[in-house]
Structure 1
Amino acid sequence: MLQAYNQAATRTESPREMEYRLFGQVTRALMHAATVDKSDLATRIDALDWNRRLWSTLAAACQDSDNAMPAPMRAQFISLSLFVNRHSSKVMKGEEDFETLIDINRSIMQGLAA
């Protein structure tokens, strides 16, 4: 029954709403990972990896010549994806924190909600 509900909910969402929901889920995972002890590597790595995969998928979509988004905006998303990847590595090394990644995702969510 839960699977049927999830499928129905997905069918009624616009692509923008789905992107917003996905960014929300990933951002919540990052927020949670930021609160766990640094020794909880699994939680931290899972959240960072999920965020990296989201941004990599977005960057790949922006590289598609059929993408209707203006080229300068697509380039900005690709640059952000590269930054997210580098920053995530620094978070894992203890050189940076999660806050920047969370802020970036929140900014994207604000744009999607507009």
Structure 2
Amino acid sequence: MAAVSPRELEANLLMKAAARLQLIKDEWEESSLAEKDDALVYNRKLWTILVTSATSAESELPQDIKNNIATLGVFVFKQTMSIITTDDVNKIGVLININRAIAEGLRSQPADAE
């Protein structure tokens, strides 16, 4: 079994969260509040871990990247709360697109850039 790099793991988790959100978006009217909440909470927890890890003092990321991730994380948290409070399915697409874009970026970086 081959080891998965941290970047690949992060990309996989972001894609998993995006897939869960996409399923909820596609089946919004049929989904229960608990199902919607589960997908949104999973994504929020994932982003909490990503932001905490990326912005920690131990992170070797450049400060501008740390700032960008923190800003993006705040946006994701606000968007999530907005979806919960307004029950607006249209706002989920933004979270899906962010997760997919970040995952693609993680996967497109050369391995020696880690």
Same fold (TM over 0.5): yes
TM-score normalized by the length of structure 2 = 0.84
Q: What is the aligned partner in structure 1 of residue 7 from structure 2?
A: 16
Count how many residue pairs are aligned between Structure 1 and Structure 2: 105
Looking at structure 1, the residues matched to 28 and 63 of structure 2 have their Cα atoms a distance apart, in angstroms, of: 41
User: Which of 45, 58, 73 in structure 1 is aligned with 2:65?
Assistant: 73
1:60 is the counterpart of 2:52 = yes
Looking at structure 2, the residues matched to 37 and 49 of structure 1 have their Cα atoms a distance apart, in angstroms, of: 16
Aligned-pair Cα RMSD in Å: 1.5
Quote the sequence identity (%).
30
1:94 is the counterpart of 2:87 = yes
Looking at structure 2, the residues matched to 64 and 98 of structure 1 have their Cα atoms a distance apart, in angstroms, of: 28
Q: What is the aligned partner in structure 1 of residue 19 from structure 2?
A: 28
Q: Are the counterparts in 2 of residues 62 and 75 from structure 1 also a CA contact under 8 Å?
A: no
Note the residue ranges of structure 2 that are not aligned, 5 or more in a row. Answer: 109-114
Looking at structure 1, the residues matched to 57 and 75 of structure 2 have their Cα atoms a distance apart, in angstroms, of: 22
Q: Which has the higher contact order (CA 8 A, sep 6+)?
A: 2
Looking at structure 2, the residues matched to 97 and 67 of structure 1 have their Cα atoms a distance apart, in angstroms, of: 31
Q: Are the counterparts in 2 of residues 59 and 77 from structure 1 also a CA contact under 8 Å?
A: yes
Q: Are the counterparts in 2 of residues 34 and 97 from structure 1 also a CA contact under 8 Å?
A: no
Paired AA for residue 79 in structure 1: T
Paired AA for residue 27 in structure 1: A
TM-score normalized by the length of structure 1 = 0.84
Looking at structure 1, the residues matched to 55 and 6 of structure 2 have their Cα atoms a distance apart, in angstroms, of: 18
